[in-house]
Amino acid sequence: MSQKLNEFKKYLKEMNQYSRVSTLLSWDMYTLTPKAGFQGMADALTYFSTKQFLMSTSDELMELLEALSAPEEFDQLDETMQFTVSRMKRDMEKNRRIPADFFEAFSQEKSASQQAWEEAKRSSDFSVFAPHLEKLIAMTIQQCEYTDPGKEVYDVLLDQFEEGMDSATIDQLFEELKKGLLPLLNKILAAPQPDSSILAGHYPASEQKKVQALLLDYIGFSMDAGAVGESAHPFTSGFSRNDVRITNHYYENNPISAMFSAIHEGGHGIFAQNVNPAFEGTAADDCMYMGIHESQSRFFENILGRNKNFWLPIYDKVQALLPDLAQVSPDDFWREINHVQNSLIRTEADEVTYCFHIILRYEMEQAIFRDHVPVNELPALWNRKMQEYLQITPANDADGILQDMHWSDASFGYFPSYLLGNIYDGMFLEEVEKELGPVDQLLADGRIQEITKWLNRNIHWYGSTRLPKEVIEKVCGREASAQPLLNYFTKKYTAIYQLVMD
Ligand code: ZN
Element (DSSP H or E) covering residue 3: helix 3-31
Specify the pLDDT at position 502: 63
Question: Ligand 1 centroid vs 82 CA: distance in angstroms?
Answer: 29
* Domain membership flag for residue 338: yes
DSSP string covering 355-417, please? HHHHHHHHHHHHHHHTS---GGGHHHHHHHHHHHHHS---SSSTTTTTS-SGGGGT-TT-THH
Q: How far is CA 280 from the centre of its chain?
A: 21
Of 126, 144, 160, the residue that ends a domain is 160
Question: Ligand 1 centroid vs 247 CA: distance in angstroms?
Answer: 11
Candidates 373, 354, 353; CA nearest to 363 is: 373
**The residue type at 305:** G
Alpha-carbon distance of 486 to 430, in angstroms, equals 12
State the distance between the two ends of the chain, measured CA to CA, in whole angstroms: 66
Question: Ligand 1 centroid vs 265 CA: distance in angstroms?
Answer: 6
Question: Ligand 1 centroid vs 94 CA: distance in angstroms?
Answer: 27
* Domain membership flag for residue 324: yes
Q: How many domains does the chain have?
A: 2
* Domain membership flag for residue 84: yes
- Is there a catalytic annotation at residue 435? no
Question: Ligand 1 centroid vs 26 CA: distance in angstroms?
Answer: 17
**Phi and psi dihedrals of 164, rounded to 5?**
90, -15
| 430 and 306 belong to one structural domain | yes
The CATH number of whichever domain residue 295 belongs to comes to 1.10.1370.30
Question: Ligand 1 centroid vs 326 CA: distance in angstroms?
Answer: 30
| 232 and 340 belong to one structural domain | yes
CB 151 within 8 A of CB 144: yes
| 316 and 205 belong to one structural domain | yes
| 119 and 215 belong to one structural domain | no
| 142 and 75 belong to one structural domain | yes
Question: Ligand 1 centroid vs 416 CA: distance in angstroms?
Answer: 12
Residue 248's SS3 state is strand
Of 121, 143, 160, the residue that ends a domain is 160
* Domain membership flag for residue 406: yes
Q: Which domain holds residue 323?
A: 167-497
| 379 and 248 belong to one structural domain | yes
Please, what is the Cα angle at 157 between 152 and 161, to 5 degrees? 145
| 80 and 186 belong to one structural domain | no
Question: Ligand 1 centroid vs 147 CA: distance in angstroms?
Answer: 27
**What confidence tens digit (pLDDT) does each residue in 397-412 have?**
999 999 999 999 999 9
- The one catalytic residue in 109, 265, 301, 363 is 265
Alpha-carbon distance of 485 to 177, in angstroms, equals 8
Q: Is pTM beyond 0.85 here?
A: yes
For each of the chain's 502 residues, which pLDDT tens digit applies?
Answer: 789 999 999 999 999 999 999 999 999 999 999 999 999 998 999 899 889 989 999 999 999 999 999 999 999 999 999 999 999 999 999 999 999 899 989 999 998 999 999 999 999 999 999 999 999 999 999 999 999 999 999 999 999 999 999 999 999 999 999 999 999 999 999 999 999 999 999 999 999 999 999 999 999 999 999 999 999 889 999 999 999 999 999 999 999 999 999 999 999 999 999 999 999 999 999 899 999 999 999 999 999 999 999 999 999 999 999 999 999 999 999 999 999 999 999 988 999 999 999 999 999 999 999 999 999 999 999 999 999 999 999 999 999 999 999 999 999 999 999 999 999 999 999 999 999 999 999 999 999 999 999 999 999 999 999 999 999 999 999 999 999 999 999 999 999 999 986 6
| 236 and 294 belong to one structural domain | yes
Specify the pLDDT at position 232: 86
DSSP string covering 199-224, please? G-S---HHHHHHHHHHHHHHHT--GG
Specify the pLDDT at position 97: 95
Question: Ligand 1 centroid vs 439 CA: distance in angstroms?
Answer: 22
